[in-house]
Structure formats: C-alpha cells, structure tokens
Amino acid sequence: MNIRKATYQFRVSLKGISPQIWRRIEVPAAYSFWDLHVAIQDSMGWLDYHLHRFLIRDRVTHVIDEIGIPDEERLFDDETIPGWEMPLRVYFMKRDDRAEYLYDFGDGWQHDVVLEGISERLPKTKYPRCLGGARACPPEDCGGTGGYGRLLRIISDPYHDEYEDMMGWLGGGYDPEAFDPSAVHFDRPRKRWEMAFLDD
C-alpha cells in the first residue's frame, strides 16, 4: 500500500483510571511521531504544556527506544530520538503494534497507543480525525491519577471544604463524563513545532 495514500487507526487509552478515558484516532500513515504526539494531545484534550515521549520496542534490536524531544543539555544519559525525524512506519507495521506515550513527567500520565488497523484514505475526508472515545481528559496539572481521583471526590461533594476553591481552579465547572468526538479540533503539527522551537 502506498504510504501517502494510507492511514493508521490508533486507540489511545489513559492508564490508571477507571472507567477508562480513551480515544480512537485515524492519522495519515506518513506521519512522524511528533505529528502523532500533536494528534494525541488534541484528541485527548491535553494542552501540550509539558514534555512527552514515546517508548517503543525496536523490532530488530528488541531494545526499547525513546522518541520525543532530545535533552539538549544532556542532563540524562538516555538517547532520545527526535520525534519529528522518525516516521511512524519504521515502528508501526501491523495491527496490534503498540507504544507507550508519556505526557507531563511530573504528573506522569501514561497512555497505551495501539495500532488497530491500516487503511486507504477515503476520498474527500480530512485527516487526522477522531472516530470515538469516552470521558473527559483530566485537567492539566491536577496531580496525576492520585490528584485526579481527589479532584473528582471534591467536586462531587458541594459541602466539601475545598469545593469552591476547586471549582474556581477549574474555571467554574468540569464534567468528567463529557466527550464529543465531533468537537475535536486538530492543530497542524508543523505549526505546533514552530511554536515550540522557533518562537522566542
């Protein structure tokens, strides 16, 4: 199949939370890992405020490779492959190929990314697109899975001592069950890259 005429369908699931928060997205097969990062951010509802990385097994060496944003100051020993230089097709070749996607190393959000299928592009269809999902993304900087659980307990009890403060921090409201695939807007990966690395 011509890679430029193909799409990858992924299921992205946030780990450590029940009921599960997940998304199903379809992206061009010619995408890089950076491009997939942007699509995951936009479909999940994250705001791309923090660092990220993919962990995926090399099918030849069987070593877990790290793909993301290299540490220019070399504070860590691990070599990180720049996501914008690595095509998805190098690692994702068949159904059920998978990676772990980590976002915000402080809060530690871990996602399973599973390739569900490879298809031909449909005519007059814009990609990437969100095909489905469930539940709202946790708010940024809420403290990981533990902090998210605490947040839900507080906002479910209007008599809780911290209810008003938490609702104010949330901007007045948050519905953990809300998600509408048709409302997902995908940013251009190149635009996001330029914002991250070219703007002063």
Question: What are the percentages of helix, strand and coil residues in the chain, rounded to 5?
Answer: 25, 30, 45
Q: What pLDDT is attached to residue 75?
A: 55
**Does position 76 have pLDDT exceeding 60, yes or no?**
no
Q: Is the pLDDT of residue 142 over 60?
A: yes
Q: What is the dihedral of CA 106, 82, 80, 119, to 10 degrees?
A: 90
- pLDDT in the model for residue 71: 78
Is the Cα torsion angle 146, 150, 155, 157 positive or negative in sign? positive
Give the mean pLDDT of 182-191: 96
Residue 21 · residue 109 · CB < 8 Å: no
What's the whole-model pTM score? 0.94
Per-residue pLDDT at 35: 98
Query: Residue 49: is its pLDDT beyond 80?
Result: yes
pLDDT above 70 covers a percentage of the chain that reads 96
Where in the chain are all domains bearing CATH 3.10.290.30? 3-135+179-197
Residue 16 pLDDT greater than 60, yes or no: yes
- pLDDT at residue 172 is higher than 60: yes
CATH (one of 3.10.290.30, 3.40.50.1100, 3.40.50.1820, 3.30.300.130) for 3-135+179-197: 3.10.290.30
What value does the mean pLDDT take over residues 157-180? 95
Per-residue confidence (pLDDT) for residue 79, from 0 to 100: 87
- Would you say 101 and 111 are in contact if contact means Cβ atoms under 8 Å apart? yes
Q: What is the DSSP letter of 91?
A: T
